[in-house]
Amino acid sequence: NFAKGVEATYDADIGEVPFKLPLTPKLPLGSLIYDPPVRGHITADDSDRFSISLDPGQTLSVRVDAIETLQADVRVYRDNTLLRQVEANAPGDPVVVQYDLNGRLINQKTTAANYVIEIQGANSTAGDYDIQLVLNTAFENEPITGITNDTLAEAFDIESDVVMLNNSSVERAGVLGVFENIPIVHEDFELGNFADDWALHSSSSNGRIRVSDMFSGATGNFAMFMDVKQILGEHTLNEAVWNVDIGETNPVLQFSHIAFTDEAQPFDGPFTGSYNADGISVSLDGELWYPVFDAPRTTVFKWREYNIDLNNALAKYDVAASGAIQVKFQQYDDVPMFSDGIGWDAISIAKRDDTDWYSFDLRRGESVSLIATAQDIADISVALYDSSGQQLASGFEKPLLNGSFETGDLRNWNASVNGGDAAEPWQVSTGGSGRDFGIDPTSPQDGDFVVWNNFNGDGPLEYSLSQQITIPGDAAEATLRWKSRIQWLFIENGAEARSFQVHVRNSETNEIIATGFEFSTGNEFDNPQGDTGWQDHEFNLASFAGQSVTVEFVATVPESFAGPGLVELDAIELDLGVVHPTNVTDVVSNFVAEDSGTYYARVTGELAADYSLLVLRNATFDLESNDSIETAKVVGSNAVQNRQWALGYIAAGDSDFYQFEAGDRSPLSIQVSLPGSGPGAFVNQLKPLIRLYDSAHNLVLETEELTVRYRVPQGMAGTYYLELASEDGTTGEYVFSIQGTESALLAAAAIDVATDDADKLIPLRDIDDLFADDSFI
């Protein structure tokens, strides 16, 4: 769901109502993307109409998600004239309508127009719906229509979403995307029985595999349970094989699991036929099976959700899953529920969606900036490619991946349990997991997920969580930071101390070369119960600059089941001393195209991450923090007709600072425009104050005027600073351009301008004429 802002609900015949204003901005502020969600209900042969007044020069996209029975018919009108009509293919299918509003975003000469979005049920259908109206951005197709953009060849063309900032070649485009697994096959057992694609087998007549509501399911009333019928003193193996066709895809196995104090029986590598264990295995031929999940033992009767990247799990066996496969769920024990037994539910195989591609055009000499921003706490990366698939530029260097586990799984980490059987192995989950005999449940500290283990089991055993990292040789610093919480409750007299360490290992020899943290619970006599609470830690890794090493978190349990415990880790990061912008997640800034053609943005990220991608042609974006001369950002975009452009957002009482080089007697021309300041949406209330400082940080100009001229005095060439400040507590977006800077003068007319684009260029005065103009201050 892209929507994050104001929500209004209409459950009756609403006729025509206005969208609630002001609209809700999407991150990053200043991207000019707005998104209000609304929910409604349509009865047969009825319609709902939503009206909104929009300033010109924007794009308008409408998405309607019908609920089950409604086959949505969506129409967009301007001043009572029908512009677009789209009907859903079938009841429950989504509808997307996009309309390009003509004109440019700033310096408009036309007034706002009134638009009406009408929703009705085709073929007299009725039902609930959700509607999203967004300005100045497109919807990614994949989550809506299933049309993928996972490869360069499938890239989503965003040229149709381009918004002109003026009537030259200074433009921006946006898209709202989401990384979510796309279901391929699903089983929730809510029919109360097994479908035909299941094959069941028990090694004895005492085995029992059933769909039942005797214990509530993970997501509904029913689930699959495995146990024995009665205690006969012998173990029985229960196996349920799911026959599915997953096609050519990157599959993720999602399921919920519950254990009723069932002893954990792990696999021991690939096997033929059957193997006495608890867990899940996958077969490509029905004969040879590859384990992908060892079911944990737990004394807490609670469903837990798991996500397994199948090809990642199968990589160690040098195989990959595609086409027709078999997935085996199994349990091995000797006592009926609820003293033994396992349950499975909400089983699905989905296509992992963690990469999106977008295409756009550049002319030779044009600059482009790519700004990717997660709408919640998530890790998003962006990179620029040419049409041959060669990477041309990337965003921030990230030597440690998935440190907050927001993928929802252990991707990028190596997790293992060595020695005995773990009560609960390393696993990633949301808050509320792990509660056991006085132990508080998990509580994520940096997002929705946290990694944890039960810090208990059939000892001695060792829980290990590690990741190989490369520390750049030129890193300003290298500090490993993490948050941890450790709980324990000894129930055995004289129980031995448990420990937790953080090591650095040689990635080739696996030798421990440094230990940066050590913790001991103390034994049962000294410290029978404890809770460290969440603590912040750091470990200086600067001595390993230029090397690839393995960072390892190790929890050690010296004896068997001496009492419950919990180890949690979150917010693991490697700080290289680089100050990243605080208002975006990743950025490629001001790349200049050497050749005209189609270019590609590749966005990668974590599961369920909503994001926006902003593409700027020949413009710079406001990257925070830049609220002082010391943090002023360079106006780095390519000059268009000797003028450089930037856009951004100012909060109440805030300022944005930019720096540029100016020569002796340079005539500087600064123009500030306020998009959205017309009578229609979106609403921009910013009242800017412009200040200009010389290279000695002296204030040389201050004005409320939106057009500024200033001539650099003789002998005062150097770095100048432009401040855009908010007056009277106002907030809003701005677009500014500056002419006469050294970089603008040096940037020769390198942009290829097609003949049919020539009339779009604004005639500007020749720079020699500006030098001779005495109207400059």
> Rounded mean pLDDT of 206-229?
94
Angle at 142 between CA 139 and CA 145, to 5 degrees: 90
| CB burial readout 261-275, b (16+ within 10 A) else e | bbebbbbeeebeeeb
User: Model confidence at 764, in pLDDT bands (50, 70, 90)?
Assistant: very low
Enumerate the CATH 2.60.120.260 domain ranges in the chain, comma separated: 397-579
What tens digit of pLDDT does each residue of 696-746 get? 999 999 999 999 999 999 999 999 999 999 999 999 999 999 999 986 655
Which residues, other chains included, contact 329 with Cβ-Cβ below 8 Å and sequence gap of 6+? 224, 226, 239, 240, 241, 242, 280, 344, 347
Quote the tokens at residue 112: 């706002």
Residue 318: left if φ>0, alpha if ψ -120 to 50, beta else—which one? left
What tens digit of pLDDT does each residue of 106-161 get? 766 667 888 999 999 999 999 999 998 889 888 888 877 778 899 999 999 998 88
Q: Which of 276-280, 498-502, 557-561 has the lowest mean pLDDT?
A: 557-561
Eight-state DSSP code of residue 101:
P
- Residue 607 in this model has a pLDDT that exceeds 80: no
Strand partners, 598: 361
More confident residue, 486 or 165: 486
Q: What is the mean pLDDT of the chain?
A: 88
Are 5 and 648 in contact by the 8 Å Cβ rule? The answer is no
Nearest to 356 by CA among 140, 517, 202: 140
User: What is 397-579's CATH superfamily?
Assistant: Galactose-binding domain-like (2.60.120.260)
Are 330 and 279 in contact by the 8 Å Cβ rule? The answer is yes
Q: Is the dihedral of CA 223, 224, 228, 230 positive or negative?
A: positive
Pairing mode, if any, of strands 163-164 and 59-66?
unpaired
What tens digit of pLDDT does each residue of 314-345 get? 988 999 999 999 999 999 999 998 888 999 99
* Whole-angstrom distance, CA of residue 127 vs CA of residue 91: 9
Count of beta carbons in the 10 Å neighbourhood of residue 758: 8
Highest-pLDDT range among 261-265, 532-536, 577-581: 532-536
Angle at 444 between CA 446 and CA 437, to 5 degrees: 165
Are 95 and 63 in contact by the 8 Å Cβ rule? The answer is yes
Percent of the chain topping pLDDT 90: 62
Angle at 483 between CA 481 and CA 484, to 5 degrees: 130
At residue 576, the pLDDT reads 93
Residue 338: left if φ>0, alpha if ψ -120 to 50, beta else—which one? alpha
Quote the tokens at residue 315: 């990589």
Quote the tokens at residue 263: 């002893």
Are 743 and 658 in contact by the 8 Å Cβ rule? The answer is no
Nearest to 673 by CA among 688, 695, 656: 688
Count of beta carbons in the 10 Å neighbourhood of residue 186: 12
Three-state secondary-structure class, residue 213: coil
* Whole-angstrom distance, CA of residue 234 vs CA of residue 80: 78
- Residue 394 in this model has a pLDDT that exceeds 60: yes
Nearest to 179 by CA among 450, 407, 404: 407
Are 370 and 384 in contact by the 8 Å Cβ rule? The answer is yes
At residue 378, the pLDDT reads 78
What tens digit of pLDDT does each residue of 365-387 get? 999 999 999 998 778 999 999 99
**500 CB-contact burial (10 Å; exposed 0-12 / middle 13-18 / buried 19+):** buried
* Whole-angstrom distance, CA of residue 677 vs CA of residue 190: 54
**Strand residues in 386-491 grouped as ranges (E):** 391-394, 414-419, 427-429, 450-453, 461-470, 479-489
Enumerate the CATH 2.60.120.380 domain ranges in the chain, comma separated: 8-135, 619-777
DSSP notation for 108-130? --S--EEEEEEEEEGGG--EEEE
Third-level CATH fold of 8-135: Jelly Rolls (2.60.120)
Highest-pLDDT range among 35-44, 106-115, 625-634: 625-634
At residue 485, the pLDDT reads 98
Q: Determine phi and psi for 231, rounding to 5 degrees.
A: -80, 115
* Whole-angstrom distance, CA of residue 314 vs CA of residue 161: 41
Nearest to 443 by CA among 548, 532, 324: 532
Percent of the chain topping pLDDT 70: 90
Which residues, other chains included, contact 194 with Cβ-Cβ below 8 Å and sequence gap of 6+? 200, 211, 224, 240
Displacement of CA 179 from its chain's centroid (Å): 7
Eight-state DSSP code of residue 518:
E
Q: Determine phi and psi for 745, rounding to 5 degrees.
A: -70, -35
Residue with tokens 């002998």: 715
* Whole-angstrom distance, CA of residue 597 vs CA of residue 369: 16
Quote the tokens at residue 223: 């689930």
Q: Determine phi and psi for 758, rounding to 5 degrees.
A: -65, -30
CA dist 269 → 283, 292, 311, 421, 603 (Å): 13, 10, 16, 16, 36
Eight-state DSSP code of residue 90:
S
- Residue 1 in this model has a pLDDT that exceeds 60: no
Q: Is the dihedral of CA 454, 456, 459, 461 positive or negative?
A: positive
What tens digit of pLDDT does each residue of 432-476 get? 887 766 789 999 999 889 999 988 877 899 999 999 999 999 888
**Tell me: domain 619-777, CATH 2.10.210.10, correct?**
no
**pTM given for the model:** 0.78
Residue with tokens 């033992």: 297
Highest-pLDDT range among 163-167, 627-631, 760-764, 770-774: 627-631
Amino acid code (one letter) for 304: R
Eight-state DSSP code of residue 432:
T
Are 549 and 513 in contact by the 8 Å Cβ rule? The answer is yes
* Whole-angstrom distance, CA of residue 5 vs CA of residue 36: 6
Are 71 and 139 in contact by the 8 Å Cβ rule? The answer is no
Length, in residues, of the chain: 777
